């Protein structure tokens, strides 16, 4: 499955619905009226970041203002460290952009300087930082993931902030550094529509570097570009 927005809509025939006079509710063609739900759009991440096909409901714990769902004590502690590191990453990125810096750190991941694009990236990181800094239970780390998704990192529903589902590959990643737990949280947070609405245009440092050169307009909407800018590994000014 490829990454992207998928729209789900439920249709159901109202076979037994009746009007106030007792007559059956029918459409113009004489058939039972069909009720249609409001469309639900969800973002499904393919490739490096996986998709959970079945939602799990399990124990919930709020620790230091973060909601942890389906997480063991060990994984809660690991995820908490990742959240702390992700907050440091996002704050550092925000400060860099607020200072108007346009060094190699920026151009490597977002391409040549352009005022409009720079403003967009700056706004994105203000929103990412604000989202990760929430400490009243709004940010949820869901540790549930199907066992067969061994290569998956994480996924989100972009229109359902701020719940991040973390999968098996997340736990084997380092807390910080390239493709880290902290970087993954920045990546996934950027997908939320109310945050930055990023997409997965390319994966990996090589792809992100190439995108910055060939299409900076897309680079500023690419989730991995935001992750690598935040991780800044190896460090650039």
pTM of the predicted protein model: 0.76
> What tens-digit pLDDT sequence spans the chain (237 residues)?
455 555 665 555 444 344 444 444 566 666 655 556 566 665 555 545 543 334 445 678 899 999 999 999 999 999 999 999 999 999 999 999 999 999 999 999 999 999 999 999 999 999 999 999 999 999 999 999 767 565 689 999 999 999 999 999 999 999 999 999 999 999 999 999 999 999 999 999 999 999 999 999 999 999 999 999 999 999 999
Q: Greatest CA separation found in the chain?
A: 75
**Domain ranges for the chain:** 4-44, 60-231
Written out in words, the top-level CATH class of the domain with range 60-231 is alpha beta
Which entry of 163, 188, 227, 231 is annotated as an active-site residue?
Answer: 188
**The two structure tokens encoding residue 26:** 């029918």
188 is a catalytic site residue = yes
């Amino acid at each position: 499955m490829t990454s992207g927005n998928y729209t789900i809509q439920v249709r159901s025939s109202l076979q037994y619905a009746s009007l106030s006079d007792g007559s059956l509710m029918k459409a113009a063609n004489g058939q039972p009226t069909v009720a249609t739900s409001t469309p639900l759009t969800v973002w499904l991440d393919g490739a490096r970041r996986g998709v959970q096909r079945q939602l799990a409901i399990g124990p919930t714990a709020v620790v230091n203002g973060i909601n942890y769902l389906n997480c063991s004590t060990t994984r809660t502690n690991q995820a908490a460290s990742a959240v702390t590191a992700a907050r440091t990453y996002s704050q550092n990125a925000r400060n860099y952009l607020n200072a108007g810096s346009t060094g190699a750190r920026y151009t490597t991941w977002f391409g040549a300087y352009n005022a409009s694009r720079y403003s967009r990236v700056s706004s994105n990181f203000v929103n990412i930082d604000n989202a990760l800094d929430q400490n009243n239970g709004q940010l949820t780390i869901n540790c549930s993931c199907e066992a067969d998704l061994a290569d998956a990192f994480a996924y989100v529903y972009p229109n359902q902030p701020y719940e991040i589902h973390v999968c098996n590959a997340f736990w084997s990643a380092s807390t910080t550094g390239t493709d880290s737990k902290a970087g993954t949280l920045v990546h996934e947070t950027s997908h939320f529509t109310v945050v930055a609405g990023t997409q997965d245009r390319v994966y990996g440092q090589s792809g992100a570097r190439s995108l910055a050169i060939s299409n900076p307009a897309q680079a500023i909407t690419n989730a991995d570009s935001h992750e690598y800018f935040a991780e800044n590994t190896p460090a650039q000014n």
